[in-house]
Amino acid sequence: MAPALPVFAGQARSYVGWLLAVLLLPALCWAGEPRELDWPALIPEGAPVIAPQLAPLHDLSQIGNALAAESAPAAHQQAPAAPVVKALDGQVVKLPGYIVPLEVSEEGRTTEFLLVPYYGACIHVPPPPSNQIVHIVSEMGVRVEDLYQPYWIEGTLRVKASSSELAEAGYQMEAEKIYAYELK
């Protein structure tokens, strides 16, 4: 009987190893896919939802004259300290939105920008609440020829406030992937 024990113990270890592999493999595969978020997911349950103010800040009839078109006073952000969803901190996510450039490289690539839920936010209409703005930094950057184009941004979301000349953001992300949003 004594010799059977080491064989049984070795078999038990291999079964435990096999069982762990079977149980952990789906979790490891799933961990590689970012969680797709929409903008309401960035607002905590029970927090007020503030409707966007879409009235233009500038006289868009003067769009040919850039100085006149941009002569309106700076917009006041609707809720610069809006509550955030703390449980999102550290999650790898995928979020669609529009790019508001903050910094452009010498090569013409936007390497730092605000991601917002609708076109014109922070530029032509008042900035949305801070929980509807993500401050993005990207080493690779993105060439933004058409600001009307929405993009998917993938990376690790941080629940961390940041401030720029245009608005307060409730979230930050270092972009791992940036690509055009396409309707399905």
Summarize pLDDT for 142-179 with one digit per residue, the tens.
998 878 899 999 999 999 999 999 999 999 999 999 99
The total number of structural domains that make up the chain: 2
Cα torsion through 75, 78, 83, 87, rounded to 10: -70
Integer Cα distance of 132 and 169 in angstroms: 7
Instruction: Tell me the pLDDT tens digit for each residue of 94-150.
Output: 999 999 999 998 889 999 999 999 998 887 789 999 999 999 999 989 998 878 899
Q: Which pLDDT score, from 0 to 100, does residue 151 have? A: 97
Same domain, yes or no: 94 and 154: yes
- Residue ranges making up the domain that contains 26: 1-32
Same domain, yes or no: 67 and 145: yes
Instruction: Tell me the pLDDT tens digit for each residue of 70-89.
Output: 455 557 898 999 999 999 99
Same domain, yes or no: 44 and 120: yes
Residue 89 gets which letter from DSSP? T
Same domain, yes or no: 70 and 134: yes
User: Which tokens in the block code for residue 53?
Assistant: 């103010």
User: Which tokens in the block code for residue 8?
Assistant: 């049984």
Same domain, yes or no: 52 and 25: no
CATH number at residue 80: 2.40.50.870
User: Which tokens in the block code for residue 41?
Assistant: 């997911």
